[in-house]
Amino acid sequence: MFNKRVKVKDLLATEPANQEVIVMGWVRTFRNNQFIALNDGSTNNNIQVLAELGTFEDALLKRITTGASLKVTGELIASLGKGQKVEVKAKTIEILGDSDAEKFPLQPKKHSLEFLREKAHLRFRTYTFSAVFRVRNTLSFAIHKFFYEKGFVYLHTPIITASDAEGAGEMFRVSTLPFDNPPRNEDGSINFKEDFFGKATNLTVSGQLEGELAATALGEIYTFGPTFRAENSNTTRHLAEFWMIEPEMAFCDIEDNMNLAEEFIRYLIKYAMDNNREDLEFLATRLAEEEKQLPQDKRSELGLIEKLDFVLNNAFERITYTDAINILLESNHYKKKKFQYDISWGIDLQSEHERYLVEKHFKKPVIVTGYPAAIKAFYMRMNDDGKTVAAMDILAPGIGEIVGGSQREERLEKLESRMKEMHIPLAEMDWYLDTRRFGSVPHAGFGLGFERMVQFVTGMTNIRDVIPFPRTPKNAEF
């Protein structure tokens, strides 16, 4: 029975010829006891179902309420109403699931994003969220398509690991030891030898190190999976569980790496523009409405579609970290003491600095290279100056850092001495060092934060609104 249903998206593109169709979906609105706006999630456009007066019993009509699910059999006819080409003139209407209009949390009116976040189990039923998650789906597919067509191997890196790839110590521990009374060593520390894996383990913060192992054999690989960071950041750009895409390429330097990242971002935008045009136009209108609430100087200069077009058609700016610091120091913003954090060579750029560079100074995405070694991870390749590393961060308007990557240190001695300096346990990372012992090659890669990319494409300002079930400090609902 169910496989005979036609999706609303397809129905709307069908020539009406009084043919019989079956359509199923959820009621968005019911007007004048006659016109049902039915949505099945295949598109933001509803199909109008006409329940002609006098055809259906009152008891049934009463059950056609916002949120109820229906199966409708009827004729596809040309619509007389405005705004749609076709409609379904109902012959039979079956209520699949009732929805008590008094209790259904989503009323046929505009709800705030904050309210909908509390109702994240139902927010898929709204225009905004169904559009966002269709775009997210398209972008996921485009990621695989991009790399598949380039001959990259999709590598599944482990979720549970015993290493801290970023060396930042922001890990969620994985253990089956009893919390109340864990086995202890003589010195009082916890004895992880008795734990499930016989050692301390955690959820992965990045698949990069395993990615490097495969890239130095398969040539070019990418990972696309969930990543976990126990950083206590309550911002509009941080999640404790997010998805990351990490390509890793052998025979590749920082220049090739930047070129690939730029091409990749453009490809994803173009793919969404070509395949989700209606959803993006809906989201552009939503964003424009939202921005009307902001003071003039906080609004974007470009609408969502114009912004995406702009990124497609203009090369990213490429500067060094040292250039970035100089631009910031020379800015009026700095001279007028408008930055909260001070600026000098060696600092980690704060998001206010990144946003100034991208939104005020260059007004386009910027790739920053050559960061001080001291503020970057152990695996990045040391530049000849002995102070900076071949790192690259891509900063995007409205988002800040969207990509972090680098050329990797392929020289064994240099890598070992860097790891010692940074107190990375060499013995435990012997497997990693083997790639540098046997046929080491120049290689590079980067990580694109998937949710930040979805934010960029959909114009959603809060990262919690582009992942179905956000995990953030003090929140793991659903």
Binding site for ligand 4AD (CB under 6 A): 165-166, 206, 208, 229, 231, 238-239, 242, 244, 246, 401-406, 445-447, 449, 451-452
What is the smallest separation between the CB atom of 49 and ligand 4AD, expressed in angstroms? 41
Q: How far is it, in rounded angstroms, from Cα 397 to Cα 358?
A: 6
How, if at all, do strands 86-97 and 173-174 pair? unpaired
Smaller CB separation from ligand 4AD, 397 or 404: 404
427-to-163, 193, 196, 210, 378 alpha-carbon distances in Å: 12, 17, 21, 16, 15
Instruction: Using the structure block, give the residue that is written with the tokens 């990372």.
Output: 429
Smaller CB separation from ligand 4AD, 24 or 395: 395
Q: How far is it, in rounded angstroms, from Cα 75 to Cα 92?
A: 10
449 binds, among Mg ion, ligand 4AD, none (CB under 5 to 8 A by kind): ligand 4AD
Tokens of 212: 């490097």
What is the smallest separation between the CB atom of 349 and Mg ion, expressed in angstroms? 10
Smaller CB separation from ligand 4AD, 125 or 353: 353
460 binds, among ligand 4AD, Mg ion, none (CB under 5 to 8 A by kind): none
Q: How far is it, in rounded angstroms, from Cα 50 to Cα 320?
A: 62
What is the smallest separation between the CB atom of 208 and ligand 4AD, expressed in angstroms? 4
Smaller CB separation from ligand 4AD, 30 or 456: 456
Amino acid letter, 397: P
Q: How far is it, in rounded angstroms, from Cα 310 to Cα 308?
A: 5
269-to-203, 221, 264, 346 alpha-carbon distances in Å: 30, 22, 9, 34
What is the smallest separation between the CB atom of 403 and ligand 4AD, expressed in angstroms? 5
What is the smallest separation between the CB atom of 379 and ligand 4AD, expressed in angstroms? 8
Smaller CB separation from ligand 4AD, 70 or 272: 272
Q: How far is it, in rounded angstroms, from Cα 407 to Cα 392?
A: 8
Q: Which residues bind Mg ion (CB under 5 A)?
A: 404
222 binds, among ligand 4AD, Mg ion, none (CB under 5 to 8 A by kind): none
What is the smallest separation between the CB atom of 37 and Mg ion, expressed in angstroms? 45
Amino acid letter, 356: Y
Smaller CB separation from Mg ion, 8 or 392: 392
Tokens of 317: 């700016």
